[in-house]
Amino acid sequence: MVDRNRLYRIDAIVMHRSDMGEADRLLTVLSRERGKLRLNAKGARKIKSRRAGHVELFMRSKMLVAKGRGDIDIVSQVETVEAYRGLREDLTRSTYAHYVVELIDAFAEEGSEQPEMFDLLAEGLGWIATTAMRNLPLTARFFELKLLTLAGFQPQVFRCADQGEALKEAAANEFYGWSPSSGGVLCPDHAPGRSDAGRLSIHALKVLRHALRTEYHTFTTLTIRDSVSGEVEQAMLRYIQYVLERKVKSVEFLNLLRRENAVI
């Protein structure tokens, strides 16, 4: 019998899983109560295992966990809260889910309570599983900005990130700058002074501002040109990779999928 003092309960989402031993699953989860954890779902690969259907990738489950001898604890009981079935039924949705999970995994801390980040991941997976396919890029942009805000890295899009003054309206032949090293948008006058400052149109800037000012369901009613959508995506990717100091791996597969489908 397991010592009750070694047991704890968590609300968790499976971010990664891999085979462990002959029949176990090694899980990386984000929990509301304890942040990021590594857990062993013993026997989960057995055909008749009662745990198998509750520890699938991206699933949200209530878990009773027993402290292990090392840094990997053991799943004692598990019950599904939300399966997000749409994520496993469509490759594009699944790829976007991998993307947001990779971002969360990069920013989440191990062993500390992170309810806001957990709630964002739960909401984000729900959005990706159910939104119209055309809304997936906007969903990703909204998620990125909310996550960066939670992590303390919200980009500056309302004032010049270099000088701090209010941004003036760019002339027809002018562009704003987008400088990850400066922390966001630069006014047209200061953009040339930053070596990493790429161009940012007024249309892309308005999309970024709208995402930070409004709620998800309002934001995804936007209708924007593909060129603007791509511009915003590249600006955010540059910013995120600068903050993380590494590439986001799932983007490569997402781009490959887009080229093959020529839709999303």
Mean pLDDT of successive 10-residue stretches along the chain, which has 264 residues: 77 93 89 94 70 82 91 91 93 96 96 93 98 96 98 96 85 85 91 85 96 97 95 98 96 87 59
- DSSP state, residue 69: S
- Asked if residue 198 lies in contact with residue 178, where contact means CB atoms within 8 angstroms, the answer is yes
| Torsion from C-alpha of 126, 43, 46, 39, nearest 10 degrees | 30
Residues in Cβ contact with 10 at an 8 Å cutoff, skipping those fewer than 6 apart: 29, 31, 32, 33, 34, 37, 62, 63, 65
- Asked if residue 211 lies in contact with residue 235, where contact means CB atoms within 8 angstroms, the answer is no
Structure tokens at 37: 């954890």
Q: Is the pTM of this model over 0.85?
A: yes
Strands (E), the chain: 7-20, 24-31, 35-41, 60-66, 73-82, 176-179, 184-186, 198-200
At residue 156, the pLDDT reads 97
The Cα diameter of the chain in Å comes to 73
Tracing tokens 């100091």 back to the chain, one arrives at 245
- Domain limits, the chain: 4-82, 151-248
At residue 49, the pLDDT reads 62
What does each C-alpha distance from 22 to 25, 68, 71, 251 come to in angstroms?
Answer: 9, 18, 20, 32
Alpha carbons within 13 A on the beta-carbon side of 234: 13
| Torsion-angle region of 184 (φ positive above 0: left; ψ -120 to 50: alpha; else: beta) | left
Structure tokens at 75: 């799943």
Q: Which fold has domain 4-82?
A: OB fold (Dihydrolipoamide Acetyltransferase, E2P) (2.40.50)
SS3 assignment, position 125: helix
